[in-house]
Amino acid sequence: MPDLEQMTAETKEHGKESTRYFLRFTSKQRYFHAVLFTTFLGLAATGLTMRFSDSIWARAVARAVGGFGAIIFFHKACAVVLTIAFLVHVKGVLSRGLVHRERGIFWGPTSMVANGKDLKDLFEHVRWFLGLGPRPQFDRYAYWEKFDYWAVFWGMVVIGFSGYAMWFAPFFAKFLPGWALNAVLVIHSDEGLLAILFIFSIHFVNTHLRPDSFPMDMVIFTGVESEEEFKAKRPLEYERLAREGKLEQRLAEAPGRFQINFSRVVGYAAIAIGLTLLALTLAAYFD
Ligand code: HEM
């Protein structure tokens, strides 16, 4: 099994192109991620403009789009689209697991649910960072990918509930005490800020800016990865599929030139917007 650094170095040195590509994300998953990141960027940009409404840049952004009323309108529009996408996702997972009894949704190597191996991988990874042991081997989802998933999932519940409580305050006031309605603003605002800082720093570094993937991991846009990349990044999944005779079922076409260029433009734009928002947040926060 090739080591990841070795693979990357070989590919770079000899211009060696893999001939086989494997599907990692279906088109449905990629569209879902596209809706997720575009609405999140919209919510982050508008949310930060509201939160730091005193800062020079926030006032300039608001003026450019027609005032803070327009900012709130865009925030709510993105929130509705994201909520629909989230509910469709939850319904899909529940129906695959509970109605169609699909195996591996709630437990095992293909599940997003954390297990003992994830904890072990985390410790082994720290040991490897410190040069004290070998690099851990991952299956379909590594522990940090599961963490990212649950951070967004949990964040959606908290931010969504508090957002709708502010939006429809007279309705929520029927069964929530007054102090709770004040608290939801603090919860929404701080949890929103936490989500923005998390996605634009930890998620970006973990996924795109780490040495294996730098400057960007395109698999979420193209859906496919080369055999070398697959073997090196997720050796346990590769071996498991080979053992079960399912590897060939995952074979896919190499991404076309247009698809690669389009993915690059969209991906770099998203990263650039995210990093700009991160810089503006830090600037406004420490101002
Ligand atoms: C279902 C999702 C969401 C809903 C329904 C929602 C709704 C709202 C509403 C109604 C407001 C108050 C607007 C006003 O002042 O009238 C608000 C503010 C805000 N939202 Fe959201 N939002 C959602 C998601 C998000 C997300 C994902 C983020 C972060 C990425 C976010 C960040 C913020 C921030 C920072 C504020 C400003 C709070 C302040 O003034 O301190 N929101 N949101």
**What pLDDT is recorded for position 14?**
39
Q: Domain for residue 2, yes or no? A: no
Q: Domain for residue 268, yes or no? A: yes
* Minimum-distance ligand 1 atom for the alpha carbon of 44: 30
Residue 21 sits at φ, ψ, to 5 deg, of -125, 150
Please compute the mean of the pLDDT values over residues 204-224 and round it to a whole number.
88
Determine what percent of the chain falls in helix, strand and coil, rounding each to the nearest 5: 70, 5, 25
Nearest residue (CA) to ligand 1, atom 43: 163
Please compute the mean of the pLDDT values over residues 76-100 and round it to a whole number.
97
Domain carrying residue 208: 22-285
**What pLDDT is recorded for position 54?**
92
**What pLDDT is recorded for position 8?**
45
> What residues are paired with 268 via a beta bridge?
none
Please compute the mean of the pLDDT values over residues 145-157 and round it to a whole number.
95
The structure's pTM equals: 0.89
**What pLDDT is recorded for position 259?**
93
Q: Give 37 Cα–ligand 1 centroid separation in angstroms.
A: 16
Q: Domain for residue 162, yes or no? A: yes
Q: Domain for residue 43, yes or no? A: yes
Q: Domain for residue 1, yes or no? A: no
Q: Domain for residue 9, yes or no? A: no
Q: Domain for residue 260, yes or no? A: yes
Q: What is the CATH number of the domain that holds 27?
A: 1.20.950.20
Q: Does the pLDDT at position 60 exceed 90? A: yes
Q: Domain for residue 236, yes or no? A: yes
Percentage with pLDDT > 90 across the chain = 83
Q: What Cα–Cα distance (Å) separates residue 114 from each residue in 29, 136, 179, 222?
A: 20, 16, 36, 26
Q: Give 54 Cα–ligand 1 centroid separation in angstroms.
A: 17
Please count the structural domains in the chain: 1
Q: Report residue 17 as tokens.
A: 């192109």
